[in-house]
Structure 1
Amino acid sequence: MQYDPNNEPNDVSISRFESMLKTNDVLFFDSGEFESIIHHYLENGKVALAKKAIKMGLQQHPTSINLQLFKIEIFVLENKFDEANALLDELYNLEPGNEEIFIQKANVLSKQDLHEEAIRILLMALDLSENPDEDSDIFALIGMEYLFLDQFENALLYFRKCIDADPTDYAALHNVIYCYDFLDNNEEAIDFLNNYLDGNPYCEVAWHQLGRQYFATKDYKRASAAFDFAIISDDTFIGAYLEKGKVLEKQNEYAEAIENYKITLALDDPTSFALLRIGHCYEKLGNDDLAVQFFDRCVEEDPLLDKGWIAITKFYLKKQDYQKALYFINKAVNIDADNVLYWKLYAKINQRLNFLEEAERGYKRTLELGNYELDTWLNRADILISLGEYDASIYNLLQAVEFYPESAEIEYRLGGLYFKTLQSDKGRYHLKNALRLNDEYDFILSELFPHVIKKPMVKAIISSSKKRAE
């Protein structure tokens, strides 16, 4: 239900109403007071109190359409669509020209995923509007219904109508850009924003969005200028400083990027994103001590941000300090055991440290979490071979074949494993497959199965294949 935000309940109304609930005294409120009290409770998620206010409001004002409409909102929240529709039909018979009834009807249809029907009803509401060319609320609702249908061109049309009706509707402005982004149409978004800024030159939101569009098209000079204008329009606009920092990073201006990121730390509580970017900038500048300091602050600020743990782990990997890298990736895994990126790093680090059983566990968990990259299958297979777990390695590779049926690297390993486990027929089959796919990869046998490569049967298969290739 549409509501005038200026008609907020005062503390006295709320106190009187809640006092009435506690004492069972009956106090009188006019219908407007009840509406503002109900709206206050709904906005604050206090549905039970809103329901009590609706019930008491209708006892005192049984003919109030607006209070009945709030009752419909409650029905929708509770997915009681039949009750909502029945009450809407009653209200329509009483006031067939009330556009709010149509808006609520559309809301019920939308909640039931009947978005095309909702649009039809909203267009009827628009016809009833006193100013159909300026009803930004209904335009916004129609735009959202088109978004639900993934009809971005139509959604864009109505969100632009919102802005034509109310240039200060920043929610609509964001939705316009969202549609342009989804349509991958940066140039039209840039044209739209430049035209908008001609009439609204001090709109920091529009400058910020324009900068993002220039950034997406890699026009970093114009992006930087747009973010500067956003900051001039509002020098406390944290988003503009963050985006300006990203542009400066792209231009390898790391010290200046740090300055912009640090401004955001002074304006508000530190964000993990800013701390992470500062760490990366210091790393680029070769200041390892400060880089680590900010990576540490990042993971302390937001332990659930995987990019922070990955950054500090990779930092130590590059330094070949595998023990510290392992320390941090272990902490990350303990916080989020279902993050596939953590397990990939966990496996890689343990492999570097020659902790093969732990490395194998890491690759196995990576696969269990749905990461089916070829290297993951191969690394796990090679570790199992090193551990003497030949049957497990074969089983792992047979699973990999389902995803990579034409991989010479898998076939050479299977061939070697089958010969190693004295299954010569299978070994011959897979070795021939491997040679057919790529006869230059036969070094895999030499590296992983130095004894197998010396077998006369294996030598003969390789020799025969290469003669045919010549």
Structure 2
Amino acid sequence: MEFSHDDNNNLPITKFESMLKTNHVLFFDSEEFENIIHHYLNQGKIALAKKAIKLGLGQHPTSINLRLFKVEIYVFEDKLQEADDLLNELYSIDPSNEEIYIQKANIFSKKDDHEQAIKILKEAAKLADDLVDLYSLIGMEYLFLDNYEEAKTYFMKCLKTDPNDYSALYNVIYCFEFLNQNEDAISYLNDFLNENPYCEVGWHQLGKQYVTLKEFEKALTAFDFAIISDDTFVGAYLELGKVLEELKRYDEAIANYTITLNLDDPTSFALLRIGSCYEKLNKDDLAIQYYDRTVHEDPLLDKGWIAITKFYNKKGNYQKALFFINKAINIDSENVTYWKLYSQINHRLSFYEEAERGYKKTIELGNYELNTWLSRGDLLIQLGEPQAAILNFEQAIEFYPENAELEYRLAGLFFLLMENDKGIFHLKNALKHNKDYAFIIDELFPKVSNKLLVKNILKQIEK
């Protein structure tokens, strides 16, 4: 039994805490102690729970339930041997107590011996009247073993016993999805909904399965039924909006996203999606209004800053795009996508040093895409920094060892620096990998392409 702040059931709590303050020992029956301990454990107040257990056992030393709480604390504190010893003692007193088995299984689980935990939980199931929790525990142990078929079976048993156990329903669907059994999930959910037609979570999950299979019209119907079952179900409106977007029904999508803003505090996701829909409808003023609201609602949502930056980028308003990407970087300077956009925008504005700095930062943050190395290296060539460009391309070639675009660039740079042996080596490598990219020498290194040595190598390959 849990205490509510609104009724007299919390009187034992008040009485107990008053006792702790005054050091005046008061009597509680064992059930009151159990409720007090349960309350503190639910609140995460372990120190108070331990005090209640100690005082409870002082007044009721033979209470098995109070000693089981002591086991629970031992397990929580990772004192597994003490927990095991106490459980063995309790088992000799009351071998038919299912909670003893559950705690024993918990210890095995903590030791990663999930097979043994399952075996003990199945023994407990033979003794229990209420099986839902035990089925759930067994299901979780099977999940730890990555045995999704067995886990699914036990979570289904939970639902058979208690159709309102939404946690079990989510776990069943998780197992189906992990096993890529979307059709089976749909079949199961349809059977489940035949028996529980007003289960909004069931309809919601059914809709998501249809989305996975790109059966969008069926998904719309499922989400509609979720909303009929609970017209305050924010998740269903959001999913409905996403499907309507997929079907390019943007006005309807906006309507559903807008409903969520009125049902609950505005979410940055809904605001962002509304902005995106308005952009696709070419209603730029409204699009930018909602993008602005998105980044104000959640400045840490990178998708908001990316959307508003790309909006201005597409419109050719690079100064505005740069303004917003700079704001984004000031909030999160470790975001690779921000730096990539920063580099591209600066490049378009002919701010080459800033663009190169941005590409360098994306590489430092672990973005090793070929285009990043190429863009940065070409900028270094343009900025008259051949040695830095060589280092950049040499680092890139470690990730792309047979890439002709990198080899041609290295060849051109070495010929430029009069290091002909290295130039010849890289030019021959480049031609071996792909002759069609030889134009890179002409394009990036016009002086090099006129060298007789380079012309001769290119002619030999043509023959």
**Partner deviation per Cα, 1:72-125 (whole Å, 9 max, x = no partner):** 222222222222222222222222221111111221222232222222221222
Hey, what does 1:99 align to over in structure 2? 98
1:350 and 1:116 map into 2 onto residues whose CA distance is 58
- Which one is further off, 217-226 or 415-424? 415-424
Q: Contact 1:42–1:50 at 8 Å: present in 2 too?
A: yes
Q: Which amino acid aligns with 1:167?
A: P
Q: Contact 2:322–2:345 at 8 Å: present in 1 too?
A: yes
**Partner deviation per Cα, 1:235-293 (whole Å, 9 max, x = no partner):** 00001100010111011110110000000000010011101100100000101111111
2:386 and 2:77 map into 1 onto residues whose CA distance is 58
Distance verdict in 2 for CA 1:184–1:5, change over 3 Å: farther
Give the Å deviation of 1:128: 2.6
Hey, what does 2:222 align to over in structure 1? 226
Hey, what does 1:66 align to over in structure 2? 65
Q: What SS does structure 2 have at the residue aligned with 1:354?
A: coil
Hey, what does 1:25 align to over in structure 2? 24
2:86 and 2:412 map into 1 onto residues whose CA distance is 75
Q: Which amino acid aligns with 1:85?
A: D
2:338 and 2:145 map into 1 onto residues whose CA distance is 36
1:307 to 270, 285, 303: 303
Hey, what does 1:377 align to over in structure 2? 373
Q: Contact 1:231–1:240 at 8 Å: present in 2 too?
A: yes
Hey, what does 2:14 align to over in structure 1? 15
Q: Which amino acid aligns with 2:199?
A: C
- Which one is further off, 214-223 or 109-118? 109-118
**Partner deviation per Cα, 1:340-397 (whole Å, 9 max, x = no partner):** 1112112212222222222222212211222111111111111111122212221121
Hey, what does 2:279 align to over in structure 1? 283
2:122 and 2:138 map into 1 onto residues whose CA distance is 8
Report 1:64-463 matches (<5 A). Answer: 64-130=63-129, 135-463=131-459
1:91 and 1:388 map into 2 onto residues whose CA distance is 81
Q: Contact 1:236–1:267 at 8 Å: present in 2 too?
A: yes
What is the root-mean-square deviation in Å for CA atoms of aligned residues?
A: 1.6
Structure 1, unpaired ranges of 5+: none
Q: Which amino acid aligns with 1:30?
A: D
Q: Contact 2:397–2:403 at 8 Å: present in 1 too?
A: yes
- Which one is further off, 331-340 or 411-420? 331-340
**Partner deviation per Cα, 1:132-171 (whole Å, 9 max, x = no partner):** xxx1111111111111222211211111111112111111
Q: What SS does structure 1 have at the residue aligned with 2:119?
A: helix
Give the Å deviation of 1:6: 8.6
Percent identity at matched positions?
65
**Partner deviation per Cα, 1:212-248 (whole Å, 9 max, x = no partner):** 1111111111100111111111100001100010111
Q: What SS does structure 1 have at the residue aligned with 2:245?
A: helix
Give the Å deviation of 1:7: 9.7
How many residue pairs align between the two structures?
461
Hey, what does 2:55 align to over in structure 1? 56
Q: Which amino acid aligns with 2:141?
A: E
Q: Contact 2:139–2:152 at 8 Å: present in 1 too?
A: yes
Q: TM-score, normalised by structure 2?
A: 0.96
1:83 and 1:12 map into 2 onto residues whose CA distance is 33
- Which one is further off, 310-319 or 113-122? 113-122
1:457 and 1:65 map into 2 onto residues whose CA distance is 93
Give the Å deviation of 1:11: 2.0
2:356 and 2:68 map into 1 onto residues whose CA distance is 61
1:214 and 1:99 map into 2 onto residues whose CA distance is 41
Q: TM-score, normalised by structure 1?
A: 0.95
1:368 and 1:38 map into 2 onto residues whose CA distance is 52
2:70 and 2:354 map into 1 onto residues whose CA distance is 59
Q: Which amino acid aligns with 1:410?
A: L
Q: Which amino acid aligns with 1:324?
A: K
Give the Å deviation of 1:62: 1.3
Q: Which amino acid aligns with 1:104?
A: Q
Give the Å deviation of 1:313: 1.0
Q: Contact 2:2–2:39 at 8 Å: present in 1 too?
A: no
- Which one is further off, 244-253 or 114-123? 114-123
2:34 and 2:294 map into 1 onto residues whose CA distance is 45
Q: Contact 2:268–2:298 at 8 Å: present in 1 too?
A: yes
1:376 and 1:88 map into 2 onto residues whose CA distance is 61
Q: Contact 1:7–1:36 at 8 Å: present in 2 too?
A: no
Hey, what does 1:38 align to over in structure 2? 37
Give the Å deviation of 1:13: 1.4
- Which one is further off, 335-344 or 453-462? 335-344
Distance verdict in 2 for CA 1:7–1:122, change over 3 Å: farther
Q: Which amino acid aligns with 2:20?
A: L
2:417 and 2:108 map into 1 onto residues whose CA distance is 65
